[in-house]
Amino acid sequence: MKELTDIQKEAEKLLESINDLNDLEKVRLRMLGRKGSLTVFLRSLKDVPLEERKKVGPKAHELKETIEQTIRDLERSIKEREMQRQLERERIDVTRPGVRREHAGLHPLARIERRAVRIFERMGFSVVEGPDIETEHYNFDALNIPRDHPARDMWDTFWLKDGGATSEENRLLLRTHTSPVQVRYMEEQTPPLRIVVPGSVFRYEAIDATHNIQFRQLEGLLVDHAVSVANFKAMIESFFEEFFGTQKKENPEVRLRPSYFPFVEPGFEVDVWHNGVWLEMLGAGMVHPNVYKAAGLHPDEWQGFAFGLGVDRLAMVHYGIDDIRLLYENDVRFLRQL
C-alpha cells in the first residue's frame, strides 16, 4: 500500500504540470475520484488497527482537503487566465460605424401644435375640434361678420360648389379660421369654460414665402363670470414663457396693441419679444357680445377672451424656418433636421 507521503508527492508532481481545466479534472480523478489514490487509501483505513488509524486518519483527511483546495485554487486561476485571453481575443474596434435603425418622427407642425396644446391643457383648457367644411353661418355670421360687411374681405374664402344641404343664405365653405368652434361649443356647453381648438384652416391666397392656402391654427376661448384684459395678458404671458422657455424678464415679454376682429371687442395684436425683436404672434380680444348671443348665451352674464395662434408661424419662429412652403414640401431631408 502506498504510504501517505508517496500519495502526497504524487499529487504535488501532478499538480505542477497542469495546463488547463482538462488536465485539472484528470488529476482530480486520479487523486480523488472513485478509484483515485487518496480515495482508495481512505477506504483502506477501515482495515487498519485503531491506533494507527488515529494517527494516519487525520493526516489523510488533511491531505484530502489540501489537495481539494489546491485544485480549487488552480481552477480559479486557470479560469481567470482563460477569461483574460478570451477578453483580449474579443476586442472590437469601437470606432467602427454603428448599424443604425432609422428613427423617424413627427412633422414640425405636429410637434409644435402638441407642445402648445399641452401647455394650455396644463392651464385647464380642454381640447375640442371642429369641421373643416363649415357653413357661412358659423364661419362668419355667428362671429359678427355679416355678409357684405367689409370685414369679410379680411378673410379670402374658398367656397364649395353645390352644397345641396345649404341655402344661398348659408353657403358651404372651407373654414378660414378655427373661431367657428367657439360658437359651436358655447351652444352645447354653458360657461365657465376654457377650450383650445387646433385645426387646419384655408384661405384663398397667393402662395409665397409667408402665405399659404392651408395652415394650422390654434384657437383659444375662455369664458367665465369676471374676466378682464389683465387676465388675458397674464395667461398669454404664461403661455409664451412656457413655450419659449424663458424666465420673466424686466422687459415685458408680450405686448398688446390695438387691432380689429369683428368677433372681439377690444381686439388686439399680441407681439412677443423673442431673440431681440418684437414678433407679431397672434390676434386676440374680449369676446364680442354678439358672439355670446349667437351661441344662445346672455352677454351680460359672461365675460371672456378669445385668441387665434398660427401654428405654422409659431413653428417658423421656433425653428428659424424662413419659408412656409417648406412645411408642406415634405422633403425628408428637411424633416430629418427637425
Residues identified as active-site? 155, 177, 203, 217, 264, 306
**Grid-cell match 369654460, residue found:** 193
Stretch that binds other proteins, among 1-9, 62-70, 84-92, 257-265 (CB under 8 A): 257-265
Dihedral (C-alpha) 167, 172, 175, 180: value to the nearest 10 degrees? 30
**Cell, residue 156:** 379670402
Phi/psi region, residue 86 (left: phi>0; alpha: psi -120 to 50; beta: rest), is alpha
- Binding status of residue 83 toward other proteins by CB under 8 A: no
**Of the two residues 45 and 154, which places its CB atom closer to other proteins in the complex?**
154
Binding residue (CB under 8 A) for other proteins from 38, 142, 186, 227? 227
**Of the two residues 22 and 337, which places its CB atom closer to other proteins in the complex?**
337
- Binding status of residue 159 toward other proteins by CB under 8 A: yes
**Of the two residues 275 and 330, which places its CB atom closer to other proteins in the complex?**
330
Residues 285-324 that bind other proteins (CB under 8 A): 286, 288-289, 303
| CB atoms near residue 74 (< 10 Å) | 17
**Of the two residues 277 and 332, which places its CB atom closer to other proteins in the complex?**
332
- Binding status of residue 260 toward other proteins by CB under 8 A: yes
* Shortest Cβ 154–other proteins spacing (Å): 7
Measured between alpha carbons, how far is residue 12 from residues 7, 17, 31, 241, 326 in Å?
9, 9, 11, 80, 82
As a whole number of angstroms, the distance between CA 20 and CA 23 comes to 5
- Binding status of residue 133 toward other proteins by CB under 8 A: yes
**Of the two residues 86 and 251, which places its CB atom closer to other proteins in the complex?**
251
Binding residue (CB under 8 A) for other proteins from 40, 163, 187, 273? 163
Residues 5-64 that bind other proteins (CB under 8 A): none
Amino acid (one-letter) located at 25: E
**Of the two residues 70 and 259, which places its CB atom closer to other proteins in the complex?**
259
For 291, counting Cβ atoms within 10 Å of its Cβ (0-12 exposed, 13-18 middle, 19+ buried), the class is buried
For residue 236, give the nearest of 249, 255, 223 by alpha carbon.
Answer: 255
Stretch that binds other proteins, among 11-19, 27-35, 83-91, 221-229 (CB under 8 A): 221-229
Site string for other proteins, 86-125 (x = CB under 8 A): ---------------xxxxxxx-xx---x-----xxx-xx
**Grid-cell match 508527492, residue found:** 9
**Grid-cell match 381686439, residue found:** 267
As a whole number of angstroms, the distance between CA 129 and CA 283 comes to 19
Residues 181-200 that bind other proteins (CB under 8 A): 192, 194, 200
Stretch that binds other proteins, among 23-31, 73-81, 83-91, 142-150 (CB under 8 A): 142-150
**Grid-cell match 360657461, residue found:** 191
Stretch that binds other proteins, among 6-14, 83-91, 176-184, 227-235 (CB under 8 A): 227-235
As a whole number of angstroms, the distance between CA 133 and CA 56 comes to 105
As a whole number of angstroms, the distance between CA 278 and CA 251 comes to 11
Amino acid (one-letter) located at 234: A
- Binding status of residue 246 toward other proteins by CB under 8 A: no
**Cell, residue 232:** 388675458
**Of the two residues 23 and 328, which places its CB atom closer to other proteins in the complex?**
328
Binding residue (CB under 8 A) for other proteins from 40, 48, 229, 279? 229
C-alpha triplet 213, 158, 201: angle, nearest 5°: 50
